[in-house]
Structure 1
Amino acid sequence: MAKQVTQDMLSASGALTDSVWADVLAAVDRTYADLVDYQEQLERKNTELETMRSFLASILASVSDVLIVVSRSGRVEEVSASFPEGAAFAGQPVETLFRPEDRPRLAGAMARVALNRAPETIEANLATPGDDAPLELSISARLDDRGRITGHVLTGRPLGELRRAYAELEQSHDELKAAQALLVRNEKLASLGRLLAGVAHELNNPISFVYANAHALDRYAAKFETYFDRVQAGASREELIALREELRLDREIGNLREAVAGAREGAERVRDIVEDLRRLSAEGTGEMIGFDLVETAHVAATWVMRGTEHGVRIALTGVPRAIVRGRPGHIQQVVMNLVQNALDAVAGEPDARIEVATRIAGDRAVLSVSDNGPGVPDDLRQAIFDPFFTTKEVGKGTGLGLAISHKIAEEHGGALRLCPDGAGACFCFDLPLAEGGA
């Protein structure tokens, strides 16, 4: 360039002036500066290329799955360090790495990937000795900066490991479900254990009543037997009248009817208690059925109150009937847990009260259990449903009641929640109404 400029100037002026030499030197400086800049760009590109090469080499060396980089012609360019004897296959057709029966499937998949530009996954076995487990082979296209196919990338993971992992996952899932069912049953048994004293007391009263009336009936039967023996012996009318007055049979006839009625009432009371206990202890597994949420809550709350010595008033308010779908045994357990927690919260409180309320909200029935105790502190609200979290003394709570109740509510398509406001604590959950359940 400088030579051409000089020639042009010489031809134009015929002599080299100072200004001409200055222009020549400036042109040389610009050319040199362009060459230096171009060299720096080449060095930067070379550094970036070396960095990328080192990065790709580290990936190929560290990846645990089989990784094969294939050229556009279908020959092996690079393989990961995890590939057995990988360096020996460089430059060979990629089909030679796999068993003969898998090669047509591999070729077809690579052709489809090149045509559709979409990854594809097949199963294939390596041809190397000792590798009997099939690979889950993912095939992707390699594209240049203009979007043209330059080859393929094959990534394979042994299916044996995946299948073992799936089997272990399914086994863990089954074990988790079994453990969850066991926790539900254990918590329910713990709740029932707390009620044993109340159950014994409730059964003892009517049974004692029946037992006392049975003794009275035996005494009345002995008096009537004495009277009828004298009648059969042919006693005179005057003697029978005197005996009747002596045995007070006229009064005992009334007492006999009262004893029979009392025995029947006690037996019916025992029957009702046993029926409630049977319904309460029902496992409640299997498919969901329709049941009356109000009645179920009443039975659960009544049994909790039977097992307590607190002088607490409990009120059942809201709709008189709400037929919902669910497992009544599990819902009874939730209500029992909530009522028991409310009883523990109001213990020692003056004028302690608990309210179990049921209402209808759209196509769902909502049940709430509230008390006038101290409530739940703000710093504990986030952890109140965590497993094994409890504010009770050691030995008085497992910390599983609310966690299991929350899980049961979720299984029924609802959620157990802590009400945001109000005095004391309030927990509520909702269940879907059965058809015509409102």
Structure 2
Amino acid sequence: MVTRLPGSHAALDLVVPKLSGAIEGTGDNVWIEVIQKMDEVYTDLVDSQTALEEQNARLEEAQDFIGSVLGAMTDVLVACDTEGRIQQVNPALEAIVGKKERTLIGQPIAELFQEKSQGVVTGFLQALRTGGKVSQRDVSLAATDSQNALISTICTARHDHRGRLVGMVLVGRPVGELKRAYRDLDAAQEKLTRTQQQLFVSEKMAALGRLVAGVAHELNNPISFVFGNMYALKRYGAAITRYLTACDEEKTRDEMKTLRKDLKIDQVLRDIGPLVDGTLEGAERVRDIVQELRRFSSNQQEQPEDFNVVRLIRTAADWVIKAQRVKPELRLELPDRLDMTGRKGQMHQIVVNLVQNAADVLDGRPDGEIVISGERQGDDIVLRVADNGTGIADAHRDKIFEPFFTTKPIGSGTGLGLYVSYNMAAKQGGHLSVENRPEGGAEFILRVPADVRNEG
């Protein structure tokens, strides 16, 4: 309630007659001076009352605010003095112990807890009195709500404006609530993991769709080679069959010599070995492409294997470039071999995504160029994929590896390629970064361990 100054007008009414009697017979100037002094005193009284009302209003607002905060807390709170007598509790504690604050004020704080926990709470006070530290402990309230009786508490000292210890504040959270929160957190984490995996699969399928034209071209060459060889082998087989049949017909030596020349048997014998070898090579190439496609599209956990990164880069880059409507120039600055032990499918997808990203930036440019370089640096393999495009705007630098971020028109990209590549690099113990090139364009730098089995 607002405190008012009592009887201020009445006091003035008493003063006025006395002053009137005291100055009776004096001049008008003295009387005017007295009246002015009285006005000043009255003004001071009014100002003091106004200031007191304002301070009282602020105090009420502060009390209401503190009360609303305490009421909104789901954690229990108890404040006590240095003797352990309860001074204030919040509604959360009232609900658990089944008692109102007015019945708890002045009671020993230890009585709030079960007998096995009372010594722990008393120890809190003793530690604070001696300047010691109080660690987090689990204690049991003497509660009507048994499910929330066990609470995880922390205790802190309370000091006055002079820094003197005047008590402690104990805050605790029901362990049952913590367990529910942990279960909810685990469920959310599991859902996030599933969603992330679905995003990876979606991006992989989107990338596979973009690569179809390039892969089809890769398959078409060896398949056409195998078909051509098989037709030749079929003709050669017919010639050899005819010649062997003539041998059984007891033809003369001259007739057989003439037939051998007409059927070009000597040429057949020279060509048949290389034809078979070439056919096998083409079939093996088809097999390798199919295996790479299966590895690229597989959702199973990969095991580290030995492979040549240079060959992987050539295959991945060819797939992307051959699928482009306007093909940028591809320049490879690579050694003959860069041997690595890692997850080949993930590396393949990272390279595909980086080359595809560069190709998208250069889409429609007749002077587009992509440069891929690589080298061994200590225990790491460092690959660089650069383009001569417009580079990355400063506003986009911090977002480039975020999921769904894309500068392409709606429907032209998922915005997941670089995000997926960044995470795949991290899973192999590596790192993916990007820089703008001084001469123009962007350069993505992939650094991965040459042997992922040595990582964490």
Query: Are 1:159 and 2:182 matched, yes or no?
Result: no
Q: Does the 8 Å CA contact 1:409/1:416 hold for their aligned counterparts?
A: no
Distance 1:269 1:83 in 2: 74
- Letter in structure 2 aligned against 1:107: T
Distance 2:299 2:210 in 1: 18
RMSD: 3.6
Q: Which residue of 2 aligns with 1:106?
A: 121
Q: Does the 8 Å CA contact 2:342/2:451 hold for their aligned counterparts?
A: no
Distance 2:339 2:231 in 1: 45
Q: Which residue of 2 aligns with 1:429?
A: 446
Q: Which residue of 1 aligns with 2:144?
A: 129
Distance 2:417 2:54 in 1: 64
Alignment equivalent of 2:255, drawn from 239, 245, 248 = 239
Query: Are 1:200 and 2:188 matched, yes or no?
Result: no
- Letter in structure 1 aligned against 2:141: L
Q: Which residue of 1 aligns with 2:40?
A: none
Q: Which residue of 1 aligns with 2:357?
A: 341
> CA, structure 1 residues 265+95, in 2 after alignment: closer, same or farther (shift >3 Å)?
closer
- Letter in structure 2 aligned against 1:424: G
Q: Does the 8 Å CA contact 2:137/2:152 hold for their aligned counterparts?
A: yes
Alignment equivalent of 2:107, drawn from 70, 82, 92 = 92
Query: Are 1:74 and 2:84 matched, yes or no?
Result: yes
TM-score, normalization: structure 1? 0.77
Unaligned runs of 5+ in 2: 1-43, 95-99
Distance 1:51 1:377 in 2: 51
- State the SS of the aligned residue for 1:132: helix
- Letter in structure 2 aligned against 1:62: V
> CA, structure 1 residues 301+69, in 2 after alignment: closer, same or farther (shift >3 Å)?
same
User: Which segment drifts farther, 43-52 or 419-428?
Assistant: 43-52
> CA, structure 1 residues 390+74, in 2 after alignment: closer, same or farther (shift >3 Å)?
closer
What is the 5 A alignment of 1:210-225?
210-225=226-241
Alignment equivalent of 2:433, drawn from 416, 422, 425 = 416
> CA, structure 1 residues 311+328, in 2 after alignment: closer, same or farther (shift >3 Å)?
same
Unaligned runs of 5+ in 1: 1-36
Distance 1:46 1:136 in 2: 43
CA shift for structure 1 position 147: 5.0
> CA, structure 1 residues 384+266, in 2 after alignment: closer, same or farther (shift >3 Å)?
same
Alignment equivalent of 1:59, drawn from 44, 56, 66 = 66
Q: Does the 8 Å CA contact 2:302/2:345 hold for their aligned counterparts?
A: no
CA shift for structure 1 position 328: 3.5
Query: Are 1:119 and 2:126 matched, yes or no?
Result: no
Distance 1:325 1:268 in 2: 23
Q: Does the 8 Å CA contact 1:419/1:428 hold for their aligned counterparts?
A: no
- Letter in structure 2 aligned against 1:157: R
User: Which segment drifts farther, 245-254 or 167-176?
Assistant: 245-254
- State the SS of the aligned residue for 1:116: coil
User: Which segment drifts farther, 388-397 or 254-263?
Assistant: 254-263
- Letter in structure 2 aligned against 1:163: K
Residue by residue over 1:279-335, the C-alpha shift from the partner in whole angstroms, topping out at 9 and shown as x without a partner, is 545668467677654444333223323433433321111555545675443232222
| Number of equivalenced pairs | 397
Q: Which residue of 2 aligns with 1:188?
A: 204
> CA, structure 1 residues 365+252, in 2 after alignment: closer, same or farther (shift >3 Å)?
closer
- State the SS of the aligned residue for 2:130: helix
- Letter in structure 1 aligned against 2:101: G
> CA, structure 1 residues 81+44, in 2 after alignment: closer, same or farther (shift >3 Å)?
farther
What is the 5 A alignment of 1:315-334?
315-322=331-338, 327-334=343-350
> CA, structure 1 residues 376+284, in 2 after alignment: closer, same or farther (shift >3 Å)?
farther
Q: Does the 8 Å CA contact 2:326/2:365 hold for their aligned counterparts?
A: no
What is the 5 A alignment of 1:128-147?
128-133=143-148, 134-144=150-160
Q: Does the 8 Å CA contact 1:284/1:329 hold for their aligned counterparts?
A: no
Distance 1:45 1:304 in 2: 79
- Letter in structure 1 aligned against 2:69: S
